Structure 1
Amino acid sequence: MRPPASANTREPTAFPVGGTVDAESTARPLRFTPRLDLPGQQLIVAGYTDARERDEQVADTFGSVQWLWSENDFFRFDKDRLELCSATFYLPPRAAPHGAKLCREAPVPSSAPAGLRAGEPTDFELPQATVFRCASDGAELVCLRTPGLLARQPYAVIGIAPDVDLLIHDGALTGWRLSDPARWLTDGFARPFPPSDAIPAPSARTRHHLAECLRLTSAPVVDAVLDQDPAAWRDLLALQRAVHAQAEDRARADVLQSVLDRLVEDNGE
């Protein structure tokens, strides 16, 4: 298989998806509004609006899916055209370790809008990312298969939907990136804002609160919360109060509030 082309060119980029199926980029990205379902810990890029519609699409498509005990992201392809028709990514359970070496030296390749076409109509496994880093200002959320990739720039970046990119290392799909994740915050399958409304930019406060929420609700910090560590609990309760007091951007703040309230209620004394 030839190496992937630069994401800055229009040449198709071929790479393995899940290790068993090859895919190549097309000129047709998904047009769906991304939905960052924070309570559900997933990013939905699809046209379905509930679990029933999702299950119906799974029956009519091929690709990867979560079965009992599996930890796969959803990549579903049309059986006739072999083109990507939806994707769901699960948020990794662990944040980048404190002090981890992060790649900042070289510029990240620019994202080129593109869809995907599978090489053959067969099901496959697509393991979830295991680690993430979220900029403290909430500018982007990067999720990768292994911590070692945090210190490496991707070879190519493929924009499969608005603000949603696939990351390619060594010719293979290794993770994904969501730009301005606070913009797409929602609860469940709901669109972030009604379809008739343009999605407004989140406030700087919301972006910061989301980054802090992700830090406090993911390992290793959440382990300290569950163990009733005083410092971790102080940080959690301080964020809960700050989000509760936030006046602007309340629709998104309510999503954050629900996640924080549940963690406090389920683990408080």
Structure 2
Amino acid sequence: MTAVRLEFGGDWFATVTGEPLDLVPRLHTDLRVSPCTNTVEREAFLLGTFGSQDWLWDVVDILRFDPDDRRLVGAEFCIPEDEASAEDSARLRLPPEARSGGLRADQVKDFRLESCTVLCRTPGDTVLTCLRDLDVLDEPLEARVRIAQDLALLVQHGTVVGWSLTDPVRYVPPPYVDPGPDPPAAATRRLFTECMDLLAEPMAFALSEGEPAALERLRAADQALRDQREDRHRANALRTVISQYVEDYLDAPGRQP
């Protein structure tokens, strides 16, 4: 199989190995593919690997590689706050087949990986796609490279320009916990989409302005997640995702009905 070399911006490159990570994605307020089970382990993991890393006040995507064999061992991706319009999202055409593969860095060298700036959603949120910018939609994507279960990097002109996660609600667990193998309940799928709506514009702005209809949607979603009896681990995780909004907009003084 011909080796595929990918550019990650600037003069930093990695080659597709054909060996994806044997790790399950965890979708919370960001997306993590990591062996770490707590913050202490994460700090040690970052110290023992190289690649792209976040620094104080610097929001970037993270790819970490083993310094001995230069192979990808973990990744973290930010979820953009800006959501593409329905018209722009409809322009997105993902390549139907994903090439299975991990990554091997060309050299042991740290680099900076800009996080994606725009989120594209499908009806029912069956796929979440994050892109470098909307200009990516002006030309076809060349390939998807699957680096973990249902998680693929998106390639255009040999450069990584985003990533996609298929069936994202399946990968919603509490922080640092792998999601269970059972499929999401139908109610969880509906509430996942509702939570995504609440976190995105224009609903997020409406919440910050205290608009009654927006506050009622947030209150209803929070209560539905509290009341859901099946699929409790995902329901609890989704409540954690919107908990800051609940605290800021529902529990704040003067906001209670």
* TM beyond 0.5: yes
Distance 1:77 1:261 in 2: 33
Q: What letter corresponds to residue 241 of structure 2 in structure 1?
A: V
Match of 1:17 among 8, 29, 51: 8
1:133 positional shift: 2.2
Q: 1:151 Cα deviation (Å)?
A: 6.0
Which residue in the other structure is 1:90 paired with? 78
Q: Give, in angstroms, the shift of residue 239 of structure 1.
A: 2.5
**Is there any run of 5+ residues in structure 1 with no aligned partner, and where?**
1-9, 194-198
Match of 1:7 in 2: none
| Aligned twin of 1:53 | 41
Q: Is the 8 A contact 1:109 1:154 kept in 2?
A: no
**Preserved CA contact (<8 Å) 2:63 2:76:** yes
Match of 1:137 in 2: 124
Provide the secondary structure at the position in 2 that maps to 1:102.
helix
Using a 3 Å threshold, how does the CA distance of structure 1 residues 239 and 152 change in structure 2: closer, same or farther? farther
- Deviation (angstroms), 1:152: 4.9
Q: Aligned match of 1:238 in 216, 220, 225?
A: 220
| Cα displacement (A) at 1:155 | 0.9
| Corresponding residue SS for 2:123 | coil
Q: CA RMSD in A?
A: 1.9
Query: In 1, Cα distance between the equivalents of 2:145 and 2:131?
Result: 15
Q: 1:176: how far off?
A: 0.8
Bigger mean CA deviation after superposition, 17-26 or 63-72: 17-26
CA shift digits 1:170-229 (9 cap, x unpaired): 221111111111111112111223xxxxx1111222122212211211233212211112
**Paired amino acid for 1:258:** T
Q: TM-score, normalised by structure 1?
A: 0.86
CA distance in 2, matches of 1:107, 1:91: 18
Cα offset, 1:31, TM superposition: 0.3
Aligned-partner Cα distance in 2 for 1:55–1:207: 33
Cα separation, partners in 2 of 1:147 and 1:232, compared to 1, 3 Å? farther
Matches within 5 A, 1:136-155: 136-150=123-137, 152-155=139-142
Matched residue count? 251
CA distance in 1, matches of 2:87, 2:246: 27
Per-residue Cα deviation, 1:127-150 (whole angstroms, up to 9, x for no partner): 111111232323111111113335
Give deviations 1:142-171, integer Å, cap 9, x for gaps.
111113335654211000011110011222
* Structure 2 CA distance for aligned equivalents of residues 48 and 82 of structure 1: 19
Give the Cα separation in 1 of the matches to 2:243 and 2:49: 38
In structure 2, do the counterparts of structure 1 residues 11 and 145 end up closer, same or farther at CA, with 3 Å as the change threshold?
same
Distance 1:183 1:212 in 2: 15
The CA deviation at 1:50 is 1.6
Q: CA deviation at 1:101?
A: 5.1
Aligned with 2:60: secondary structure?
Answer: coil
**Aligned position for 1:30:** 21
- Segments of structure 2 that go 5 or more residues without pairing to the other structure are none
Is residue 174–residue 234 contact of structure 2 (8 Å, CA) maintained in 1? no
* Alpha-carbon distance between aligned partners in 1 of 2:6 and 2:12, rounded to the nearest angstrom: 9
CA contact (8 A) 1:138 1:208 kept: no
